[in-house]
Each structure stands twice: as structure tokens, then as C-alpha cells.
Structure 1
Amino acid sequence: MAMKNSLRWTSLLIAGGLATGGAQALEPDALFEKVSPGVWTVRTFDAQERPLRGGSAVVVAPGRLVTNCHVLAKASSFVIRQDNVTYGATLEYPDVERDLCQIKVANFRVAPLQIAPAGAARVGQRVYAIGSPRGFENTLGEGILSGLRGGDAADARLLQTTAPVSPGSSGGGLFDSEGRLVGVTTFGVREAGSLNFAVPADFVAEIPARAQAAMARRAEGGDGAMGPRGLTDPLRPGNALEYVRTDRLTGNRASVVYRLDRITGDELFFNMGGRIEKADGRVVTVASPAGGYFDSSSPPGGWGRKDIKPGMRWHLDYVATTGEKWRHELDAVVVGERSMRVDGTEVRAVQIAYTGWIYASYGTGASLVGTPFEATAWYARELGRVVRFEAQHRRGNSSSTSESIELVRVIR
């Protein structure tokens, strides 16, 4: 009898513990049903409204989602989508160092996901990734949390997982077995099988403050801004130039990063050869027009050169080497010089105005009828590069583009 009472008492203790110990692990189908409404697909577009790339985003607050900044890096505009529902979205706060961007969506009433408490992630726990790999919306993948990387370094911490992460998954959710967001999936190592990574979800709450602090530092030239020597020092492999590209018709802003991969002879290779420059800043080739017209309409040598002086004029007739590869016929004039602030440092920039025509390609030749094109470049001779560029292209009565791109910092 004593043994039966003991067993009964033990059973009651176990049952009571389960009843009062908090939420229980969900079965994968129940977990998916609970959290998938809060995971959306991101679609990005260039200045001509052509599709660029896809990614994912997670709902973190009313009308607010978070994705990876690299998903938006080349976009002039972007939308979020789930099933047949699409919303236009705008960038609100970028935290480029942690690759987390908060976006804003008007009239969006999807409930935010629950975020796991800071420090709750533990190696060996079961985790689930939900995103849009290769464009397949709301795909569920299962794995374990296989490592916590980066120690206490504020910007280096990553969650390592065996849950699958593929192109298109970036910005998606990594959830624990209770359906709480533990990470934002970021990238996978293709050659290493199930070696995938996510940014900790406890970083999400810090995005607005970090983005505002970074903008203040750049504006004031305080901590974190490059001083005069840092701005003009020669670039080294691993350094990067961060521009902000703005669609002036919609107000959409996106970060464009040119990362220096290697230096061969007197040539600098950015973004895996997507942009190649000479050591003096002259543009050799642009294979990937990440910067909109700044790249796709770039003349031979680029939009500026070190020998320019106020009053100089010249004529350009060339076929762009990337994008639509259209013929450009432009007149250039140096209209003046002024001080500009770049990454907290004052630089002198020469202003160059370009006016003329773009002729679209048809078959093996170019159209005989051109469309008006205007651009203005501010070229800093001490940096050997353009620090701001604006372009307007009118392609017809109902189609026009107005955009700008501006150097905001040098990442070393």
C-alpha cells in the first residue's frame, strides 16, 4: 500500500509540474499554424520596377517587420507578400552592422510574433526555420541549435543551426519549440551542408536606437565616424563603401554597399567583380548595377575625374557596359565646387551637370528616338570618387525615374 501511495504521489507531482511549468513544446504542424501568419515574403525591385531578389521578413510589432538589410541592399522599392496579399513597404530603421532592417507597412494588422527572452537560446534545443527559400513561401524546416557564436561581442553574436537556410530565407524566423522567435535567419554556408546562421532575436528591440545613434554619429562626426585620415586612406581588401540610394518619387531608401574583395595590380575588385576601379578611382567596368543609374549609365571612367575644374565642358557618346546597355549622348559641364559632409568629414566636391539623351537598344542597333536624361554628380577629388549622384530619366508621358545615391561612410 505504501508503494502504491508513493507512486501515486510521484505521478501527481509530475502532472502538477507539467501543469504549472509554462508552455509545452508544440508539434511541428501546430507550431506552423501558430507562427506562419507572422512570416512574410519580401520582393524587391530596381528603379525600372524589374524584380531583383526575394527574401523573408517577420512581424515584430504592429505595422512593423524585420528583415536582413542585405535583402534590401539593391532595391529602389519593395513589397511584402503572403499568399495573394501584397503590401507596399518602406525602410524605417537600418542597423547595417547587425544586418537587421526594420520596415514599416501601412494598414497592416497582422499580430506580432512572440520573441523569446534574451539568453533563452541553448545549444541542442529543437528549432524551426520558416521563410521563403527560392521563393517558396512559408516553408518549414526543422533542426537543432548547434552553436552560439561570437561570445559577448555585441555585433558578432550569431546562432548556428542545422535548420535549413537557402537564398530567399534571409530575414525569416527561427523559432523554438514553443513558437517563440529566437533568431532572424541570415545566411548558410553552401559548401558546408547544414551550417546555417541566424541573428539573435533579442537584437530586434535595439534596432531603432542603434539606427538613430548611427545616424547621429555620422551627422555630428562623433564616435564611430571616420576622421579625415580614415576617409582618405587607401582602401584595403575587406573595406567597404556604403551609399544610400533614394527613389525621389516614392521616398524609399536602401543601403548599397560596395565591398572591396581584392586588389590585383592597379585594379580594385568590388562585390565579386561586380564593379572594378583603378587605384585612382576611374571606373573600369560595372557588371552589377547595384546603384541604379549611377552604375547602369556610367560613362567610361565614371562620372568624375581628378583633372576637372569649374567651367570645363566635354561631350560623351557611349554605350553603357551593363544594365540595358543603352547608347548615351550627353554634354557635361563643371558648374561649381562646394563643401560636403561625408561620414562626419568635410570634403570639397566639384559639381558636374550632365544633360542629353538615352537611346534604347532594339535588335542589333539603337533607337533613332532618344529619351531625355539629366544627372548631377558631386565628385570629391581627394577621395577620387563621386560622393553624391542624382539622375532623372523621362521615358514617356507616364514613365519617369528620379533617384539619388550618396556616400554615407567608409567601413574599415
Structure 2
Amino acid sequence: MKRVHRAFISLAVVFAAGNASALEPDALFTKVSGGVWAVRTFDAQERPLRAGSAVVIAPGRLVTNCHVLAKASSFVIRQDNVTYGATLEYPDPARDLCQIKVANFSVAPVPLAPAGSAHVGQRVYAIGNPLGLENTLSEGILSGLRGGDSQAPLLQTTAAISPGSSGGGLFDSEGRLLGITSFGARDGGSLNFAVPIEFLAELPARAKAMLETRPSGPAAAETVRKTAEAGSGGAAGLAVPLHRGDAIEYVHTDKLTGIRTPVIYRLDRIDGDVLSFNGGGRIEKADGRLVSAPSPLGGLFDSSAPPGGWGRKDMQPGMRWHLDYTTRGRQRHELDATVGEERPMHIGGTEMNVTRVAYEGWIYGAYGGAPLTTISARFTGTAWYSVELGRVVKFDGEIQRTGSVGGSETMEFVRIQR
């Protein structure tokens, strides 16, 4: 009994020691909130543009999201009643990270978590300035590690993030910085994301490499500004021609379960006017027309897509056409398409005009070209197509089998990663 009792005590001591450094939320906030500042940006006429957040990572140096600084002619950082002018030092819009510098700024940097220490299920805390409410703390868990980059994954979290939180800090329970809060999926509830701190070490080199390929002087500043806008997650990013390494991000929602999953199409090859994403898992023409989608990451959006995709640039309200095609999954689709009116829609924070296209018909199991009507299913779908972007920015699809819903899904555009 003594041995068992001593072993139990030893395990208890080890467990307690392993958790001794975890902080209560109030203590954690006291420890690191001084290193999270609000960002305010202004246009050339000194009119306010955007509000965001930034985190102190080194003496006189803070990091924020590049999309916070997009279109800005000047910007400041602020906490309580203290304001400092700031300037851009290292832009990395492809990863949506921008380092800024502030003269005569002596605030201590926040501690950084060890590289690779983020793990699913751990308690995390977001500190930022949502809706302009300075130094707001929210609590959650790290709910996923997503393949946002080949070097390190995006951090998915349930900690609340709202407009103004962009550029804030995501901290572990010891008050160490895990990532920079970047964006939340539209209507995504607790589906929010942060850029991992592993990217900070590469910021100077990546920024230098990008700037060396740009012209100097005022033209360079304008190019950086436009590039930051392209990496901001807004629709303007898609209007810029895609380049190798760019990625288009959607969110797929299974409406039957409520599960929301990021879907990323990364451009890894360009052959003339043919664009190959995800190692050939999706192939498009340069104008956005779908060639094939052998790896249907986007559910029905990919697996049931007609030749050319769910929309096209020559559509006019009132147009109708009939589709009869068989997918790679050997399912025959007979659908009727009807084009509705054009209307405005908010896409990545920008209002743009989209055209609604309704699809209705049947899907049959196919073998040798002959439909097996015993496994037929009713299909309805709606695509919102942006002519300016040359692609569908929202898609709803539903399959009904003999009185029951076999699948109900939504795909929504989130942003472009450059």
C-alpha cells in the first residue's frame, strides 16, 4: 500500500508540475495585453479607413495582417490614450503578415511559443480589438491545424474573432504567442483562423525577395499597396491574375451536420491558359472555366459540376439551357439551368454584383451510359456567379432521395492567399 500511495503522490506531483505554468485568464491578460495594440489606418486625406490589431514581437517592432493596412496612406498604433505613428517594414502579403516599426517605442515584446508546439485541443486565448473595443479577451480551444502553407498549418480556433481582431494575438495558456489572428469564416460561428508564429522568422527574407522583384521609388510603394490588397482576402484579390503559389479559399458547409471545413485550391502549375490546382486535383482555364475536378474537395460543388463549371460570363437574365452529362464518378446528370437577375453581394468584405443561376433536375447512377432509375435522386442547386471575378462565389446544392435529403451543402468564397 505504501508503494502504491507513493507512486500516486509522485504522479500527482509530475502532473501538477506539468500544469504549473498555465495561467488563469485574468493573470494571462495582465501578462500580455500590454503587447497588443490597436491599428488605425487613414487615406491620403487623413480620413479613417480600417481598424485592426498588432502584436509587439521585438523592441520597436509589431506584426499585423497585411489586409489591415491595405489602401492606407498612413497608420498609427494606439492603446488607451497613447498613440504612435508607425511605418511598414516587412510586407509578406502572400501570408497576410506585415511587420511594422515604431520609433521611440519601448513596450516589451510578448513571449513566443516554441515552434511546432500548437496542438489540437489546447486552451487558447485571443486578444485584439474587435469592433474597436480595445484589448478584448476571448477564450477557446485550438480546434484544428489546417494546410494553409507547406511550412506550417493555419491555426483553427473557437476563440471569438470579429472585424478589428485581425492582427491580434492568439496565445497559449502560458501567455505565449501561437499565432496572429487573421480571419473568421463568414457566418462561421466559432470557425476562426490565425497565422502561425513560425512564419515570423521568415518575414524579413520573404519581404526582401518580394521587393527586389518590384520597381523602386513611388512605383514600388504603389505595387506593395496593391499586393497587400490582393492578399487581404477581399474580392479585389481574385480580380488580379493568379500566379503559381496563390491559393483560393472557400468554406464548405454540410448543412445536415453543421460541419464547416476550409477548402483550399492552391495553384501549383500554369501551362499556357490552363491552371492546375492541388497537384491536378482541380484544373481550370485562365478565365475561370472548369476543365475537371478529379479530387472533389468542395463536395457537390466539385463532384457534380457540369462541363465549364456552374457559371459563365455570357449569361443574361432569363437565359435557360439543358445539361446532360456524366461525371467522373459515373453519375449522369440531367439538369435545367435558369439565369436570374443580377444583384449585389458582399464578397470578402467587398460588395460586388453577382448573377444567380438555378439548377434543377435528376442525378442517376450510370453504367455503360444507361441510367439506373432505381437509384435516381432529385437535384437542386443555386450558384452565385461573379462576372468580374470569373467564378462562382457561393454555391448551394441539395440531393433528395425518395423523400429524404441525401445531402445539403454550401460552398462560400472566403479569400485569396498570395
TM-score by length of 2: 0.53
Post-superposition CA distance 1:151-176 (Å, at most 9, x none): 76238x31111101100000000000
For 1:17 and 1:191, how far apart are their aligned partners in 2?
Answer: 39
From 185, 195, 219, give the equivalent of 1:199.
Answer: 195
Query: Partners of 1:111 and 1:40 in 2: how far apart?
Result: 12
Q: Stretches of 4+ moved more than 3 A in 1?
A: 16-19, 217-220, 242-247, 252-258, 260-266, 269-276
**Equivalent residues in 2 for 1:51-200 (5 A)?**
51-150=48-147, 153-154=150-151, 157-200=153-196
274 and 17 in structure 1: CA distance in 2 versus 1, 3 angstrom threshold: closer
CA deviation digits over 1:229-276, x for unaligned, max 9?
A: xxxxxxxxxxxxx984399xxxx999444434598559xx99887799
1:62-81 deviation line (CA, Å, top 9, x unaligned): 00000000000011100000
Task: Give yes or no for contact 2:118–2:178 (8 Å, CA) kept in 1.
Answer: yes
Identical-residue share of aligned pairs (%): 67
In the alignment, what sits opposite 2:12? 14
Answer yes or no: is the 8 Å Cα contact 1:37–1:110 preserved in 2.
Answer: yes
Q: CA RMSD in A?
A: 3.5
Provide the secondary structure at the position in 1 that maps to 2:111.
Answer: coil
Q: Secondary structure at the match of 2:187?
A: helix
Distance 2:74 2:226 in 1: 8
Q: Which residue of 2 aligns with 1:25?
A: 22
Partner SS for 1:129: strand
Q: Which runs of 5+ in 2 are unaligned?
A: 231-235, 240-287, 289-311, 316-343, 354-416
The 8 Å contact of residues 243 and 256 in structure 1, kept in 2 or not, is answered as no
Q: 1:143 to 1:275 in 2, by over 3 A?
A: closer
CA distance in 2, matches of 1:199, 1:42: 18
Aligned pair count reads 249
**Structure-2 change in CA distance of 1:215 and 1:85 (3 Å):** same
What TM-score does the superposition give when structure 1 sets the normalisation length? 0.54
In structure 1, the partner of 2:390 is: none
**Structure 2 residue identity aligned to 1:75:** A
Superposed CA offset, 1:286-305 (max 9, x none): xxxxxxxxxxxxxxxxxxxx
Query: In the alignment, is the contact (CA less than 8 A) between 2:214 and 2:220 conserved in 1?
Result: no
Q: Which has the larger radius of gyration?
A: 1
Residue of structure 2 equivalent to 1:259: 237
Counterpart in 1 of 2:47?
Answer: 50
* 1:101-157, Cα deviation, whole Å (9 max, x unpaired): 0000001111111111111000111110000000000000011111100176238x3
The equivalent residue for 1:245 is 222
The whole-number CA distance in structure 2 between the counterparts of 1:7 and 1:88 is 61
1:245–1:256 Cα contact (<8 Å) kept? no
Residue of structure 2 equivalent to 1:343: none
Q: Distance in 2 between matches of 1:243 and 1:256?
A: 14
